[in-house]
Amino acid sequence: MITCNNDVRSEVWDAKRLIREYVKIEFVLTPKCDGSNLSLFNKVKLQRLVSVISAYMDVEYNVDDSVDIVNRLFARGLNNILLSSELSDDDFIEIIKRLRSLADIDYIGVEPRWIKNKDRQSIFYTLLRYRVNVEKLISTFSGLMEASPGGSLAVKAIKSLYNPKLIEANDIIDDVLVDLLGQRFKQSFSISELTEKYGYPSTSDSELIDWEIDNM
């Protein structure tokens, strides 16, 4: 379920927002999905991702290739475009330092057996896979409309106990994922620019909320 955000940041897309929007819709991007069989809600969410990725990677926006464009960045494969965004050696070393710190391992430098591009991809897709699954865990009860008093109390207890810690961890991992995306993703785009140049859909969040309510 989306909420309407009037904050000025909702009018700007940066790489962190791209990551966070992707993990919410990843579940619909199955091998059989071509975008045409999605609900309006998910179709608009997908088209937004395609527009933003097209802006960052300077690829041609084509609504018929929506799923392919998203997967070329976020799924491992022969046509992957992650490495098209340069990551400097210094930035890679800083990422390794941070991960070693999170793992409570002393930093001893980048080991000779490491291959930057290969290990960059391995780190990115390992973190992203876990991040997607954590998002699903957080959203477990997001569609719950009613429950017994006992069930409602249990849901509230679970959310209070787990979610703050998971959200805090997500924020850390999202920062690492953004760094792994490389140089191209250090900029941001306004929705007006995305709409004018990269086919960003005109459907607003409030219109999506109305559609979601009507189709519950």
Of the chain, the end-to-end C-alpha distance in Å amounts to: 11
**Cα(60)–Cα(68) distance, integer angstroms:** 12
CB distance 116 to 77 below 8 Å: no
Torsional sign, CA 88, 60, 30, 21: positive
Tokens describing residue 10: 């909702």
Domain residues of the chain, as ranges?
Answer: 10-86+187-216, 87-181
pLDDT tens per residue, the chain (216 residues)? 333 444 444 789 999 999 999 999 999 887 777 777 888 888 999 999 999 999 999 888 877 888 889 999 998 875 789 999 999 999 999 999 999 999 998 877 667 788 899 999 999 999 999 999 999 999 998 876 677 889 889 999 999 999 999 999 999 999 999 999 999 999 999 999 999 999 999 988 888 888 777 776
Query: What pLDDT, on a 0 to 100 scale, did the predictor assign at position 102?
Result: 95
Residue reference for tokens 């962190």:
16
CA angle, 170 as apex, 120 and 166 as ends, to 5°? 140
* Predicted TM-score of the model (pTM): 0.89
Q: Are 87 and 182 in contact (CB under 8 A)?
A: yes
> How far apart, in whole angstroms, are the C-alpha atoms of residue 33 and residue 58?
24
Encode burial over 65-98: b for 16+ CB neighbours within 10 A, e otherwise.
bbbbbbbbbbbeeeeebbeebebeeebbeebbee
Q: What is the pLDDT of residue 2?
A: 38
